[in-house]
Structure 1
Amino acid sequence: MIQLSGVHKAFGANRVLRGVDLSLPKGQSMVIIGGSGTGKSVLLKCVLGLVRPDQGQITVGGQDVTQGDRDAFLARFGMLFQGAALFDSMRVWENVAFRLLRGPGRLPKAEAREIAIEKIRRVGLKPQVADLFPAELSGGMQKRVGLARAIAANPEIIFFDEPTTGLDPIMSGVINQLIREIVVELGVTAMTITHDMTSVRAIADRVAMLHDGLIRWTGPVAEMDQAVDPYLQQFIHGRAEGPIESVR
């Protein structure tokens, strides 16, 4: 579904991506791990076509991400943002139905609200939540609303950007379980960026480690612990000593 071949991206003298090769099969969940500043977010933006690579090619479903109708291309994606990124001035159901009300093929308000409430239920919230404002929700509830918005338009591909950031361990477990259920239930292709190794083990079919602008290791999550790559082992076990230098 997603194919990156020899992708390079630099910002001035800062070479962020240095020849990334990565393949994500349709219907699978891939988690990209790596330290802060290693280029994970830039890679995601390149896949979305928000940042144009300097070299290489990225295709989604065989389509070059830099070509074709942008609205139609982006309509294939759903996104759960790191901070939920809800609109404070809109009620919960309006946040969930945002694309349904404004995107291509927009729906009547009543129909969009009905779909929004269905998705709100799907992420484990009561229908009454629909008429609240984001400020009236806890952090975990806001994250669930963000997830409901991500699946509202039934996308083919969903990106999850640090889905458990700022949540306690119990709520993190709830969100991880919801993500896994939804990916399987909807049959979507999923790409997640996270530092949380508990999330990695809970939601990944495959794992890719990005370091110094390159994919250091990629493979099934079941093979991650036995992999011999020293960068991967240092990262997943949180060791201070190893080839990855910490900034002191």
Structure 2
Amino acid sequence: MIELRDVHKAFGANTVLNGVDLTIPKGESMVIIGGSGTGKSVLLKCVLGLVTPDSGQILVDGKAAERASRDAFLARFGMLFQGGALFDSLPVWQNVAFRLLRGAQKRPKAEAREIAVEKLRRVGLKPAVADLFPAELSGGMQKRVGLARAIAAEPEIIFFDEPTTGLDPIMSGVINELIREIVVEMGATAMTITHDMTSVRAIADKVAMLHGGVIQWTGPVSELDATPDPYVQQFIHGRAEGPIESVR
């Protein structure tokens, strides 16, 4: 569903991606791990077309995105943002139905609200939440609203950017379970970037380790602990010593 071929991206003298090759099959959940500043978010933005690679190819379902069909291209994606990114001035249901109230996918207001309430129910929130504002919700509830928005338009591909950041361990576990259930239920292709190894083990079918601008290792999550790759072993065990240099 998603294929990156020799993708390069630099910002001035700072090379972030230095020849990334990665394939994410349809219906599979791929989690990308790596330290802060290794380019995980840049990689995601390249796939979405928010950042243009300097060279290389990015194909979605075998095709490169064209500017003329950008709206149709983006309609295939859903996104759960790291900080929630909810609109403070809109009630919860309008946040969830944001895409359904605009553009090519526009639905009548009553229908959009009905879909929003159903998606809120799917992530464990009651209908009464629909008319609240984001500021009236806890961090965990806001994350659920963000997840409901990500799936509101039934996307084929869903991106998760640090889905458990800022949540306590129990709520993190709840969000991880919800993400896994929903991805499997929808048959969606998922791409997640995270530092949280608990999330990795809960969400992933496969894992890719990004370091030094390239994919250092990729494989099934079941092989993560057994791989002898020194980059992976240092990262997953949080060791100070190893090939990944810590900033002191």
Tell me the residue number matched to 1:146.
146
CA contact (8 A) 1:231 1:243 kept: yes
**Is there any run of 5+ residues in structure 2 with no aligned partner, and where?**
none
Letter in 1 for 2:26: K
Tell me the residue number matched to 1:80.
80
The root-mean-square deviation of aligned C-alpha atoms, in Å, is 0.7
Aligned-partner Cα distance in 1 for 2:160–2:68: 24
**SS of residue matched to 1:217:** strand
**Is there any run of 5+ residues in structure 1 with no aligned partner, and where?**
none
Aligned pairs for 1:85-104 within 5 A: 85-104=85-104
**SS of residue matched to 2:87:** coil
Aligned-partner Cα distance in 2 for 1:133–1:151: 20
1:209 maps onto 2:181 in alignment:
no
Letter in 2 for 1:120: L
**SS of residue matched to 2:105:** coil
**Larger mean Cα displacement after TM superposition, 43-52 or 66-75:** 66-75
**SS of residue matched to 2:46:** helix
**SS of residue matched to 2:210:** strand
Letter in 1 for 2:27: G
**SS of residue matched to 1:78:** strand
Aligned-partner Cα distance in 1 for 2:198–2:100: 33
Aligned pairs for 1:1-248 within 5 A: 1-248=1-248
Deviations 1:18-76 (A, max 9, x none): 00000000000000000000000000010011111111100000110355400000000
CA contact (8 A) 2:207 2:219 kept: yes
CA contact (8 A) 1:49 1:66 kept: no
**SS of residue matched to 1:63:** coil
Aligned-partner Cα distance in 2 for 1:53–1:141: 35
- Which stretches of structure 1, 4 residues or longer, exceed 4 Å deviation after superposition? none
Identity of counterpart residues, as a percentage? 82
CA contact (8 A) 2:82 2:161 kept: yes
CA contact (8 A) 1:47 1:65 kept: no
Aligned-partner Cα distance in 2 for 1:234–1:141: 34
Aligned-partner Cα distance in 2 for 1:6–1:136: 45
Offset at 1:105? 2.8
Using the size of structure 2 for normalisation, the TM-score is 0.99
Letter in 2 for 1:28: E
Offset at 1:180? 0.1
Aligned-partner Cα distance in 2 for 1:55–1:82: 27
Aligned-partner Cα distance in 1 for 2:76–2:143: 21
Aligned-partner Cα distance in 2 for 1:128–1:170: 24
**SS of residue matched to 1:53:** coil
CA contact (8 A) 1:52 1:66 kept: no
